[in-house]
A and B are shown apart, each in its own frame.
Chain A
Amino acid sequence: MLRTLAARLPALALALLLAVGLVALAAPEAAAQVNPRDASVQEEQLLRALQGGGAVAGRVSIPDAGAANLIKPDNKGWASIQGTTLRVISVAAVLVTLAILAVFYAYRGRIRIDAGFSGRLIERFNGFERFGHWLLAVSFVVLAVTGLNFVVGRWTLLPIVGEEMFGTLSGWFKIAHNYMAWPFMLGLVWVFVTWVGRNLPRKVDLDWLKVGGGLFTPGLHPPAGKFNAGQKLLFWMVIIGGVGLSYSGIIMLFPWLAATPADWQFWQVVHALFAAFMSVVIFGHIYIGSLGMQGAFDAMGSGKVDENWAKEHHSLWVEEVRAAERASGTKAPASPTPAE
């Protein structure tokens, strides 16, 4: 055995020498690697490494885990979107829409019933339908006004009422906005369930759209069902817009639902854009349902519309109602006095 060891000794010595040599070579490198000065992390390096999204983060000794984020430069990007871009978009949306409506009114005036009031009424919307509509409408208006205050209030209302009053008002507006969200969502579901069947696209809608619904041509009355193509478009815009607003709104009502603060920022921007879009749409809707068209408001006001109005604007629906009357052998309840 000793002889084997002796024979192996030179090889062993060589191996040892090599090992020592390797360690000697590696040691200064290893020492350099753990030298904190050389491995010093510079803010510039970390910011370059972030490259769009992300935070310089570390460890904190306090329970608030969010405090571990040291610097998140991208937040300034959201700040400028919120402070500048969204403000401009919201203001532009409101002003441009009002301008377009004013021009349209100047051009077309109030759309009259060509045949005049007949004095006979047809029931268009029953109590159930009207309740859902007004629940949605009133809550939307409150949400829109209080929401608009978030975006442009400090430039419009604040100079008028002063800082103290504006702070108090805005506090109440925020509470109103948070609470009115729920009747709005209920109204949205109500309206969807009530009218989705009536708002499915039909061939007649295409023909209606081709002539612009007769909006720009006095005397032209393309046939339409209970809801014409314009109303169907409105219905789907309200549903989609309303769902978008509800989803993003809920995330803002319960901020922990957002996975990260960056997600919250995204949904906040979505909320503001959808809100601007919906305001445009509803301005047009309110216009046509009140000032824009004679006899239109009655549909939601009392639920009963003048027969001539119905024949001119929803001829197919009138036929449907009359056919149902004939089938059941009864006349639909309507008062003979004109709706005034």
Chain B
Amino acid sequence: MARMKFLCDADRCIECNACVTACKNEHEVPWGINRRRVVTINDGLPGERSVSMACMHCVDAPCAAVCPVDCFYTTADAVVLHNKDTCIGCGYCFFACPFGAPQYPQVGNFGTRGKMDKCTYCAGGPEEDMSQAEYVKYGANRLAEGKLPLCAEMCSTKSLLAGDGDIIAEIYRERVVTRGYGSGAWGWRTAYGDTVTV
């Protein structure tokens, strides 16, 4: 089975935020929540890099490790999803995630946050595939249709790659070899414990 990963080629990302917009639109993400965001390192300085970041769907996901109600699960494609019905909005997953992927829609008393929301790799949730219930809670399920995440599909420069980890690593490797430079697969060592060697 495929082992799904994201790879953002920081040398190609032009900070257009098409990935952010595509995701928000496709899944009707609530106000204030950004499942995907673009971070610009060294803005205005030599070596400026932009990286598109969302949930990395880690190996041994730390969010799943700390959840008090065990609402996370990993699919056969290695996509890390969670159950919003079980989620109690305690916020632990946010503090565990190295990438800041979990987000919460509410600001209430005593730190009440509402149900956690995050990038689903366009794979929906535990509800029935492509049902209305699934769409309302988790957004579109593109993986069930055999499609890849919309953020990567909409990327204007094809800097954001999504798909089987080995395939996108190979694509990135070829790019680095051809053009002669590359700043590496951002977040891969933290998320998957390995990196793309060129």
A residues apposed to B, CB below 8 Å: 33-37, 39-44, 46-47, 56-62, 64, 66-76, 78-80, 82-84, 149-151, 153-154, 158, 163-164, 166-167, 170-171, 174, 178-179, 252-255, 261, 264-265, 268
Q: Which positions 50-67 of chain B face chain A at CB distance < 8 Å?
A: 50-51, 53, 62-63, 65-67
Q: Which of A33, A43, A69, A252 has the most CB of B within 10 A?
A: A43
**Interface residue? B47 (CB, 8 A):** yes
Q: Which of B53, B68, B83, B190 has the most CB of A within 10 A?
A: B68
Q: Which of A41, A58, A67, A255 contacts B183 (CB 8 A)?
A: A41
Contacting residues, chain A, for B181 (C-beta < 8 A): 37, 40
**Interface residue? B184 (CB, 8 A):** yes
| Residue on B nearest A61 in the bound complex, by CB | B17
Q: Which positions 21-63 of chain B face chain A at CB distance < 8 Å?
A: 32, 34, 37-43, 46-51, 53, 62-63
Given A36-B46, A42-B183, A73-B190, verify A61-B38 contact (CB < 8 Å). Answer: yes
**Interface residue? B71 (CB, 8 A):** yes
Contacting residues, chain A, for B46 (C-beta < 8 A): 33-36, 39
Chain A nearest CB from B177 CB (Å) reads 15
Given A72-B100, A167-B88, verify A78-B95 contact (CB < 8 Å). Answer: yes
Given A41-B49, A61-B17, A70-B99, verify A167-B71 contact (CB < 8 Å). Answer: yes
**B58-96 Cβ-contact flags toward A at 8 Å (1 or 0):** 000011011111110000000000010111111110111
Cβ contact within 8 Å between A255 and B186: no
Contacting residues, chain B, for A149 (C-beta < 8 A): 68
Chain A nearest CB from B117 CB (Å) reads 13
29 contacts between A and B (CB under 8 A): A37-B180, A37-B181, A40-B183, A41-B41, A43-B183, A43-B187, A44-B189, A47-B189, A58-B39, A58-B42, A60-B37, A62-B37, A64-B37, A67-B34, A70-B39, A70-B51, A70-B186, A71-B190, A73-B98, A150-B68, A150-B90, A154-B67, A158-B70, A164-B85, A166-B86, A170-B86, A170-B88, A255-B91, A268-B95
Contacting residues, chain A, for B69 (C-beta < 8 A): 153-154, 158, 166-167, 170
**CA A268 to CA B93, docked complex, whole Å:** 13
Cβ contact within 8 Å between B11 and A40: yes
Cβ contact within 8 Å between B49 and A40: yes
| Residue on A nearest B43 in the bound complex, by CB | A59
Cβ contact within 8 Å between B43 and A151: no
Cβ contact within 8 Å between A82 and B41: no
Task: Describe B's contact surface by its main secondary structure.
Answer: loop
| Residue on A nearest B64 in the bound complex, by CB | A83
| Residue on B nearest A262 in the bound complex, by CB | B95
| Residue on B nearest A74 in the bound complex, by CB | B98
Contacting residues, chain A, for B96 (C-beta < 8 A): 75-76, 78-79, 82-83
Cβ contact within 8 Å between B32 and A64: yes
Given A58-B40, A58-B41, A178-B110, verify A167-B85 contact (CB < 8 Å). Answer: yes
**Interface residue? B154 (CB, 8 A):** no
**Interface residue? B111 (CB, 8 A):** yes
Cβ contact within 8 Å between A153 and B68: yes
**CA A41 to CA B39, docked complex, whole Å:** 14
Contacting residues, chain B, for A58 (C-beta < 8 A): 39-43, 49-51
**B127-142 Cβ-contact flags toward A at 8 Å (1 or 0):** 0000000000000000
Q: Which of B47, B48, B189 contacts A43 (CB 8 A)?
A: B189
Contacting residues, chain B, for A41 (C-beta < 8 A): 41-42, 47, 49, 183
Cβ contact within 8 Å between A164 and B95: no
**CA A264 to CA B195, docked complex, whole Å:** 30
**CA A325 to CA B97, docked complex, whole Å:** 66
